[in-house]
């Protein structure tokens, strides 16, 4: 058995602390939106220069 530290209970509810983002769900949606935009921009880039 390894010597584990006590479970960190406080961290789960920690807010992102970023301007405009109150929850982590909002941060993840922003990152997902950025990903979709990046894929679309790559497709547009390829089409413009094909």
Partner 1 sequence: MNVADWVVLLGTLVGIAAYGSWRTCQIGSLNTYLKGRQSTGWGTIGLSVMATQASAITFLSLPGQGFESGIGFVQNYFGLPLALIIVSGVFLPMYRRFGVYTAYEFLGRRFDWKTRLLGAGLFQLQRGFSAGVTIYAPAIILSTMLGWPLDLIVVCIGFLVIAYTVTGGTEAVSLTQKWQMAVIFIGMVTAFIVLLVELPVGLGFNDAAHVAGALGKLQAVDLSIDPSRRYTLWTGLLGGLFLSLSYFGTDQSQVQRYLGGDSLRESRLGLMFNALLKIPMQFLILLIGALLFVFYQFERPPLFFNQSEWQRHAQGPEGGTFRALEKRHVVAVADSEKAIRAWLHTRTSQDAAVEPIARATMLEANRQTAAVRSEAKAALLAADPRAKTKDSDYVFITFILAKLPHGLLGLLIAVMFAAALSSLAAELTALSTTTTIDFWRYFRPLAAADEARNVRVARRFTALWGLVAVAFALLVGFAENLIEAVNIVGSIFYGVVLGIFLVAFFFRRVGGSAVFFAALAAQALVIAMFLSLNIGYLWYNLIGCAVCIVFSMLVQTVLGPRANTDPGRAA
Question: Which parts of this chain interact with partner 1 (CB under 8 A)?
Answer: 1-9, 11-12, 14-18, 24, 27-28, 31-32, 34-35, 38-39, 42-43, 45-46, 48-50
Question: Where do we find the tokens 């990152």?
Answer: 31
Contact 12, 21 (CB under 8 A): no
- The least distance separating partner 1 from the CB of residue 27, rounded to whole angstroms, comes to 6
If the CB atoms of residues 17 and 20 are measured against partner 1, the closer one turns out to be 17
Contact 39, 47 (CB under 8 A): no
Classified as helix, coil or strand, 19 is coil
- The least distance separating partner 1 from the CB of residue 30, rounded to whole angstroms, comes to 9
């Amino acid at each position: 058995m390894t010597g584990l530290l006590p479970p960190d209970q406080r961290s789960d509810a920690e807010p992102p602390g970023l301007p405009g983002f109150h929850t982590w769900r909002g941060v993840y949606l922003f990152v997902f939106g950025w990903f979709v935009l990046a894929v679309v921009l790559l497709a547009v880039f390829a089409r413009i220069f094909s």
